[in-house]
Amino acid sequence: MNKWYVYIILCDDGSLYKGHTNNLERGYNEHCLGRGANHTKLYKPVKIVYSEQVPSLEDAVAREKYFKTGSGREWIKNKLKEMSE
């Protein structure tokens, strides 16, 4: 059974990139090398600020999609604030 992850990367312009992968380290490294999404080609990754493991690709895609909604962005904002306290 594959592990899947949903992650959030802080980029050098202060934006947050949301994605999913079955290999968190490799996925982040791909973004850092400019082989990831267009967003992380334009705005260089600084660090992964959040990740969570989910049981399936379908769950990863659904969670990423949620993170891109208004309520998902609010959840991320609150979670990152909570993590920094």
Domain boundaries, the chain: 4-84
The CATH number of 4-84 is: 3.40.1440
Mean pLDDT of 71-82: 96
pLDDT at 52: 97
Q: What are the residues whose beta carbons fall under 8 Å from the beta carbon of 56, sequence distance 6 or more? A: 4
User: Percent of the chain having pLDDT more than 70?
Assistant: 99
Averaged pLDDT of the chain: 96
What proportion of the chain, given as a percentage, has pLDDT over 90?
94
Each residue's pLDDT tens digit, 18-59: 999 999 999 999 999 999 899 999 999 999 999 999 999 999
Q: Which helix (H) or strand (E) holds 64?
A: helix 57-67
- Its pTM stands at 0.93
Beta carbons within 8 Å of 44's beta carbon, 6+ residues apart: 11, 12, 32
